[in-house]
Structure 1
Amino acid sequence: MSNDFDYTVVTRALIKAIKDGTGYQLIEANSPGEQPEYPFCTFTITSPSIQIERYYEGALFEMVVSLTWHGTSSVGVLNLAKKSESYLRSDAGRKTLADNGIALVDITGISSRDNFISIDYERTIGFDVRLLAKDTFTDDSVDTIESFKVNYYGG
């Protein structure tokens, strides 16, 4: 079986959507490297494949991606979370996703995700995005029918 789906398509589309909608950076959560200056947004693919329907050449599936805004102001990250949520629901945001073969299914409610760091708080607000995608794999183990003959016994 060959698998043609690439999750970088999803992450690139979300990175573009967040940048276009807010002007700020989206990075992978808990990744190595230096943290950007506040505010910024992180993503985590929490449910990578929830199968919906399977075909001979592919399958529709959903995935859940968690988006979390990080900053020093709770109101600031709340505003950015709302702005990015609104952009993803907008025609422009949906087009960015659709141009990459992804459809927005749902967005959960925005909620606080604050972290206590040493002697201070990092203010975090986030939401989850449910997306629909198509895996265009082919099942090489299935034999194909090359030809067939129909016998007609008419009367």
Structure 2
Amino acid sequence: MKIATIKEMIAQIKAGTGIQIIKGNMTNEPPPLPYGVYNITSPYIKGRGRGALVDYANDGVSYQKRIEQYKFTISFSFYAGDIETTMENAFKVHQWFLFMGQEFIRNKNLAVVEVGNIQDRTTFLVEHYEYKHGFDVHFRATDEQIRELSETIEIINLGGI
């Protein structure tokens, strides 16, 4: 999981749309309305297979690399004092993922698999409504792991001719 990349992406969204987005499920006091919230709802969705293994040598040392593709999901919700602003802010960020943010996402070795539909997530709290709209974004990422191989056999003589 590339948490630093996700934080950079949130900063890019704010720079591109002007909408403040904070991390969800925190005990901190929320900022003044309007604002957005993001949650990493599925940090690892396994891809097919077990990944690809590649053996290679560098400066006389043998290594093995495992390369795997996986998916993850981030959920966005936008809060405001009225329902029109929540819809507008959700739409701006939705469009960022579909068009304006494509180059940034590509440069971070991520791929947007799907940008979900914008949904009304308004809730009724005791005596008033908490207006919010949101959507989910599904990403594909690549993970690489490298380990040094302790000992390898390069030539085996089985006898014979």
Would you say how many aligned residue pairs link Structure 1 and Structure 2? 146
Shift of residue 145, structure 1, vs aligned partner: 6.9
Structure 2 residue runs of 5 or longer lacking an equivalent are 54-65
Distance 2:21 2:111 in 1: 19
The aligned amino acid for 2:101 is: G
Moved over 4 A (4+): none
What residue is the counterpart of 1:19 in the other structure?
A: 14
Check the 8 A contact 2:122/2:133 in 1, yes or no. yes
User: TM-score, normalization: structure 1?
Assistant: 0.81
Q: 1:59 aligns with which of 38, 54, 68?
A: 68
Which is strand-richer, 1 or 2? 2
**Residues 1:8 and 2:16 aligned together:** no
Q: Which residue identity does 1:115 align to in structure 2?
A: T
Among residues 111, 116, 128, which one is paired with 1:103 in the alignment?
Answer: 111
SS of match in other structure, 2:146: coil
| Aligned-pair CA distance for 1:147 | 4.8
Identity rate, percent: 24
- The structure, 1 or 2, with the larger RCO (C-alpha pairs under 8 Å, 6+ apart) is 1
8 Å CA contact retained: 1:40, 1:70: yes
Mean Cα deviation higher: 103-112 or 21-30: 21-30
Distance in 2, Cα, partners of 1:139 & 1:132: 24
Q: CA offset at residue 149 of structure 1?
A: 2.9
* 1:137 match: secondary structure: strand
The structure with the largest alpha-carbon Rg is: 2
Aligned CA RMSD, in angstroms, stands at 2.5
Distance (whole Å) between structure 1 residues aligned to residue 122 and residue 13 of structure 2: 20
1:22-64 Cα shifts (integer Å, max 9, x gaps)? 2011111121212011111111111111122512323111001
Cα distance in 2, alignment partners of residues 39 and 8 from structure 1? 25
Amino acid at match of 2:25: N
Matches within 5 A, 1:3-152: 5-10=1-6, 12-53=7-48, 54-56=51-53, 57-90=66-99, 92-138=100-146, 143=149, 146-149=152-155
Q: SS state of the match for residue 116, structure 1?
A: strand
Provide TM-score, normalisation by structure 2.
0.78
Q: 1:49-87 CA distances to partner (integer Å, 9 max, x unpaired)?
A: 112251232311100110000111111110111111111
